[in-house]
Structure formats: structure tokens, C-alpha cells
Amino acid sequence: MRAHRVRALLMGGQACVFYGAAEFSRDTDFAILAVAANLARLRRALADLQADPIAVPPFELKYLRQGHAIHFRCQHPEALRMRVDVMSKMRGLDLFAKLWRRRTVIELPDGTTCNLLSLPDLVQAKKTQRDKDWPMIRRLVEAHYFQHCDRPNPAQVKFWLRELRTPQLLLELAQTHPRLCRQLASGRPLLASAVLGRAAKLEAALLAEETVERKRDKLYWLPLRKELEKLLHVG
């Protein structure tokens, strides 16, 4: 990707590893800029990886812009059988240009750099109907909390109040930052229970919040799944 200057952001399980919430994954997931020039660069990168498209939809710009994921399988000896998934449009996330501006840039031990989806954007991308994603969201935000809780800045505290899924940590934050917690409760109503120290009610509200997001994701994917089924039938 770097060699061919593909405008892409690492996301998925491998991005979670870099953020301190380890998840084994043989897939490599990217958010990419869906324009013709970038797709041409991506095609050259995939050719170097000896990566062939698998399943549906086909590798076309229109499907990326609609929100589909396109899947490839690598045959290069150094990436044998690794799957590469690319997306451009995701539920609840901004367009790629904004994601790129917010990206996290890390340096690997060999000195190369890697562009990651920002942590808040990665958390949002994980709010799916899949069972495995919700424990990962919890671990991602917990890891960030424990990395920075000694001397947090206001933006970090807001992020934790908006995204933490650990009742005890939310209760602790609400006691430390009650005013901010009340301010943010209009966007996340369960924070009202955290301010009042109602642990049982907070746990129930977290589950309800997850249920709502799962339903939203199912509704979002419904027309996309129907289109995939149609493509399979045509194929």
C-alpha cells in the first residue's frame, strides 16, 4: 500500500492490536479513498500481492461508494492466503477526507509508518451487529483509559464518557467529572445513571445502548445484503 501510495487507513483487528486491544486476525482491513486514481494505485498494490477478488461484489468504484466491502485473497509467498478487505463508506463515519485528517500515524520498529483509523473512528466502525465487536470496543476504550488516566486532557475525558462500556470506570469518571457528565448526558442518556451512582441501572442501559446499535447496523446493511444476494443470483 505504501509503495504504491494508496490512500488507505488500517482498521479492523490489526488496528486494534496497535491500540493495545490485541485481537488475532488474519484479515487486513482498510478504509480507502474511493476515487478512480486511488483505485488504480490499489489495483497495482493488489497485483504485487497476487491478490484476487473473492465473493461479491466485484471490484468496482460504484460498490465501494455504496458502502460495500470488497474482499481479496493474497497468493504472494509473504502474505499467502491473507485476506484483504477494503471499504470506503461506513455507517456512522464521516467521508474519507475527514477520516484521513483525524488519522493516527505510528512508526513501526523498522522505521516505516502506518496510517490507522483514529481510535474514536475505529470504535464507531466496530458498532456492528457482530457479537465479537462489542467486547473489542470495551477493550479498546479501556486500554486508552488506562494509558492516559493519570493525566488526561479534556478531549480524552469526553471520549471516555461517550464511549466507555465498563460500568465501574463510568461510575468513577462520573464522580470525578459530574458537571461534564451531565453536559454529555443529552447525547448519551445513560450518563445520568452514572452521575447518580446507579450501577444496576447503568449496566442495563449499556446493554440497551448496544441493542439499539445492533439494530441500526442490521437496518443499514439490509439493502446492501439484498444487493449482494442479487449479484450472487446473477453470477
Q: Could you tell me if 118 and 137 lie in one domain?
A: no
Q: Is the pLDDT of residue 21 over 90?
A: no
Q: Could you tell me if 18 and 117 lie in one domain?
A: yes
Among 14-18, 33-37, 88-92, 220-224, whose mean pLDDT is lowest?
14-18
Give a yes or no: residue 224 inside a domain. no
Q: Could you tell me if 101 and 198 lie in one domain?
A: no
Q: Is the pLDDT of residue 235 over 90?
A: no
Cell numbers 486508552: residue: 144
Structural domain range at position 107? 8-122
Q: Compute the average pLDDT of residues 197-226.
A: 97
Give a yes or no: residue 228 inside a domain. no
Question: pTM value?
Answer: 0.94
Q: Could you tell me if 111 and 25 lie in one domain?
A: yes
Q: Compute the average pLDDT of residues 89-101.
A: 97
CA distance 153 to 148: 9
Give a yes or no: residue 102 inside a domain. yes
Q: Is the pLDDT of residue 8 over 80?
A: yes
Q: Could you tell me if 69 and 117 lie in one domain?
A: yes
Q: Could you tell me if 191 and 116 lie in one domain?
A: no
CA end-to-end distance (rounded Å), the chain = 30
Give a yes or no: residue 232 inside a domain. no
Which of 122, 154, 174 corresponds to the end of one domain?
122
As a whole number, the mean pLDDT across the chain is 95
Q: Could you tell me if 140 and 99 lie in one domain?
A: no
Give a yes or no: residue 1 inside a domain. no
Q: Could you tell me if 106 and 137 lie in one domain?
A: no
Q: Could you tell me if 143 and 214 lie in one domain?
A: yes
Report how many domains make up the chain: 2
Give a yes or no: residue 231 inside a domain. no
Q: Is the pLDDT of residue 134 over 70?
A: yes
Q: Could you tell me if 64 and 153 lie in one domain?
A: no
Residue 233, pLDDT score: 82
Which of 71, 94, 122 corresponds to the end of one domain?
122
Q: Is the pLDDT of residue 167 over 70?
A: yes
Rounded to the nearest 10 degrees, what angle do helices 154-163 and 133-148 cross at?
Answer: 150
Q: Could you tell me if 35 and 118 lie in one domain?
A: yes
Give CA angle at 167 (119, 160), nearest 5°: 30
Q: Could you tell me if 72 and 160 lie in one domain?
A: no
pLDDT in tens, 30-62: 999 999 999 999 999 999 999 999 989 999 999
pLDDT in tens, 155-165: 999 999 999 99
